[in-house]
Amino acid sequence: MQIDQVVKFILENREVLTAFLVSLIAVIKLTAWGKAQAAALDTVVGVIERMGVREVKTAVAKTQAGLPAAAKDALKDSVAKADPKKSPLSIGWRVLREIFRGI
């Protein structure tokens, strides 16, 4: 492609390219927000596991039944990271789980 063809393509598809860039920025922002939320959850669960607070663990177990599947999985992953007796799922399995959840 020559430069004039590239410029013509950009000018003809300005709305599509703008929508793509806005969507890309939104996905990046949401991913960063999700990672921050996961890190906060991991921190809280780690402290609870280290302290061994039974009242908190019991309350979380009771409320866990009403959570959506994605939240249950996130909580289970955080507990598995914090508890030395449990091993968390590998990244590959977690990605596959999310892909199939969306289908």
pLDDT tens figures, 65-101: 888 888 888 888 877 777 777 777 787 887 787 778 7
Euclidean distance between CA atoms 37 and 42, whole angstroms: 9
State residue 94 phi and psi, 5-degree precision: -65, -40
pLDDT in the model for residue 19: 92
Euclidean distance between CA atoms 60 and 78, whole angstroms: 13
Euclidean distance between CA atoms 7 and 22, whole angstroms: 20
Q: 91-101 and 69-82 are packed helices; what angle lies between their axes, rounded to 10 degrees?
A: 170
Please indicate, yes or no, whether the overall pTM of this predicted structure exceeds 0.75: no
- C-beta atoms surrounding 74 within 10 Å: 19
